[in-house]
């Protein structure tokens, strides 16, 4: 049995990929209370987040945005961004990525609670 977690399990929660096409990818992120992803940016894709459950505090280029179910947050290509669960229940975000590449190596991390600063590797 492997010690490695499945690719979709992260320290902040987990994600599921629903669809990937040449120009877009759709994911569902579930973020545990008090957790957040890394402050990061992408050069080859934009992201559009739809909050469907929970309370989100997003950071887009050093500006804070609070979001609740039904709110949509758009992240342009090259913008630094992160989401954070500031509630007591899981935060669920449907993310639509639009671009020409969706690989993990298009993540440049600036801050990370889990020691992953810099250009990413899959784990």
Q: Are the beta carbons of 12 and 35 closer than 8 angstroms?
A: yes
50: alpha, beta or left? (left if phi > 0; alpha if psi -120 to 50)? beta
Mean pLDDT over each residue of the chain, to the nearest integer: 91
Taken in order of first residue, the domains within the chain and their CATH numbers are: 10-114 (2.60.120.10)
Per-residue pLDDT of 45-90, as tens digits, reads 999 999 999 999 999 999 999 999 999 999 999 999 999 999 999 9
Residue 8: both structure tokens together: 């979709």
Q: Are the beta carbons of 75 and 60 closer than 8 angstroms?
A: yes
Q: What is the pTM of this model?
A: 0.88
Residue 50: both structure tokens together: 């739809």
């Amino acid at each position: 049995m492997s010690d490695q977690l499945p690719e979709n399990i992260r320290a902040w929660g987990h994600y599921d990929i629903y669809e990937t096409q040449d120009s877009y990818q759709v994911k569902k992120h579930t973020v545990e209370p008090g957790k957040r992803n890394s402050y990061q940016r992408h050069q080859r894709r934009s992201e559009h987040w739809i909050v469907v459950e929970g309370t989100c505090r997003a950071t887009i280029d050093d500006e804070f945005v609070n979001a609740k179910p039904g709110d949509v947050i758009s992240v342009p290509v090259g913008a630094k961004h992160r989401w954070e669960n500031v509630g007591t229940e899981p935060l669920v975000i449907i993310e639509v990525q639009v671009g020409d590449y969706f690989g993990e190596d298009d993540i440049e991390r600036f801050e990370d609670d889990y020691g992953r600063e810099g250009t990413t590797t899959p784990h």
